[in-house]
Amino acid sequence: MTLVPLVGKAASVAVILAGLLAPTAPQKPVAVPPAASAPGLPAPGLAAPAVPVPGVSHPLLTQAGPAPQAARVAASPPPHPHKVPRPPRPHPHKIPVIPRPHPHRAVAVVEIQTVPSLPGAAFLLDGRRLVADNQGIVRTSVTTGNALHSLSVATSTAEQSGRQMEFVRWGIPGDSDENFKPAVTKLAIRHNVRIQAAYKVSYLVSYRLVDQSGAAVARSRAGQVALRGETGYVAVSNAGDKVRLPGIRLLSQNGAVVAKELVYDVQRVMVDGSNVVQVGSQRFRPAQAQQLDIPLQLRTAHFTAHDLLFQRPLGASLDVVYPNGRTRREALSGGQVTLESLARGNYRVQVNGAGISFMRPIALSRNQYVDLPVISYLDLAVLSSAALAALGGLLFVGVRRRRRVRTGPEPAL
């Protein structure tokens, strides 16, 4: 009676060991020998039930019969709870190789920038027409490689908003013999590149002549108008009221072309042979202002002619000789006349009328009142009488002195 349970347990262990030792092919259930068909044992032809083994928790031991191959693969050991895995370090003597793009298939960006900005400027790159945007910039892409590209200017001259632009040079990284030519035929592009197209710019500046109160002065009164730039360029206008001035100076800084605005000052405005502006006092930039008011240093002179002794108004007219030698006759009213808008400078004046007047020089540098005394005929008569009386008195005194000398002293009484 005690052998039957032992035989059943031995059969179960045999089935489990058979499943572990034969992983490739499943084994048929092991039938219990006829002698083991005792009460408590499985019937003949049935698989033995799984019997838990004390102290063993492997899942394979809880299955009846052989287990699949994937379930029998040993699991990797879990990470240590108190150790952090270290990342792999590069080899100290090996440089990682960075893959390079194919030289014949890479694409580079070409940017053409107009200096100064010229929206709508057109260029030809390998025959393709490119037009600048509102900022004067063109961007396109080309295939890099050893092939040489061609670039040319389609818009060499342009006129926008009163400014006249003309192409001068290219700004290409590196030295090039073709920088100052409208077309570049040996352009190598192996990476992204920025190319500058530099233009010289001139502005049509209109000016107005005004006096110090702001009133307009006729352009016919002025002769030569000269404006001088900071580069030494002098623009001269002889008749009109407009002059074209270069407004942009192109400079090279750190291999790039930079546009700098030019500054001008008024050098001279000739009126009646005299310069009526202060040199260098008025400065302006044509790139910022194309309307210019030029204040002139014009003066006012008030002339008063009168006789020498009695201060009576005298004279019919006044002859004025201007700095340029021109003579103008002005009528006198009550011995007075006022001349306005006179150019500063040296004048000569003479009163015409009954009496004697000499040409008198006047340096006109500000508004002045000029007093012009004239020797009238009455003044001549009075002066002549006074002179004769003085002469007669002198003769009388001289005669009396001579008589006293001859007769000697008078006898005392």
Q: Cα separation of 266 and 264, whole Å?
A: 7
In a domain, 85, yes or no: no
Amino acid sitting at position 250: L
The answer to whether the beta carbons of residues 336 and 303 sit under 8 Å apart is: yes
Q: Reduced to 3 states, what is the DSSP secondary structure of residue 71?
A: helix
Determine whether 330 is exposed, middle or buried from the number of CB atoms within 10 Å of its CB (0-12, 13-18, 19+).
Answer: middle
Q: How far, in Å, are 87, 102, 155, 249, 373 from residue 118 at the CA level?
A: 56, 36, 10, 15, 68
Q: Is residue 157 located within the same domain as residue 194?
A: yes
Print pLDDT tens along the chain (413 aa).
Answer: 444 455 455 556 555 655 555 554 444 444 444 444 444 444 444 444 444 444 444 444 344 444 444 444 445 566 677 776 676 777 777 765 554 555 556 889 999 999 999 999 999 999 999 999 999 999 999 988 888 999 999 999 999 877 899 999 999 887 667 788 999 988 888 889 999 999 999 999 999 999 988 899 999 889 899 999 999 999 999 888 899 999 999 998 887 899 999 999 999 999 999 999 988 889 999 999 999 999 999 999 999 998 888 888 888 999 999 999 999 999 999 999 999 999 999 999 999 987 888 899 999 989 999 999 988 888 788 888 888 888 888 887 877 777 777 665 555 55
Verify that 15 and 124 share a domain, yes or no.
no
Final residue of a structural domain among 172, 198, 224: 198
Q: What is the rounded distance in angstroms from the CA atom of residue 177 to the CA atom of residue 296?
A: 50
Residues 343 and 403 in one domain: yes
Neighbours of 225 (CB within 10 A): 23
pLDDT at residue 97 in the model: 55
Residue 79 in domain: no
Sorted by sequence, the CB contacts under 8 Å of residue 40 that are 6+ apart come out as 4, 5, 8
**Residue 315 pLDDT:** 87
Question: Same structural domain for residues 174 and 208?
Answer: no
Indicate whether 249 and 193 sit together in one domain: no
Q: Are residues 123 and 176 in the same domain?
A: yes
Whether residues 161 and 183 share a domain: the answer is yes
Give a yes or no: residue 393 inside a domain: yes
Are 242 and 289 in a shared domain? yes
83 in any annotated domain = no
CA angle, 59 then 65 then 68, to 5°: 65
Task: Kindly state whether residue 271 falls inside one of the protein's structural domains.
Answer: yes
Question: Burial, 266: exposed, middle or buried (Cβ in 10 Å; 0-12, 13-18, 19+)?
Answer: buried
Which domain-ending residue is among 68, 89, 120?
A: 68
- Say if residue 184 is in the same domain as residue 207: no
Tell me: do 261 and 317 sit in the same domain: no
pLDDT for residue 17: 59
Q: Which of 264, 295, 326 is the last residue of a domain?
A: 295
Please tell me whether residues 281 and 324 are part of one structural domain.
Answer: no
What DSSP designation does 76 have? P
Quote the number of domains for the chain.
4
Structural domain contains residue 94: no
The reply to whether 259 and 357 lie within a common domain is no
Residue 89: inside a domain, yes or no? no
Q: What is the CATH number of the domain that holds 376?
A: 2.60.40.1120
Tell me, yes or no, whether 100 lies in a domain.
no
What's the pLDDT score for residue 202?
A: 95
Domain residues for the domain of 265 are 202-295
In whole angstroms, give the CA distance from residue 325 to residue 228: 28
Q: What is the CATH number of the domain that holds 135?
A: 2.60.40
Q: Are strands 360-364 and 163-171 parallel, antiparallel or unpaired?
A: unpaired
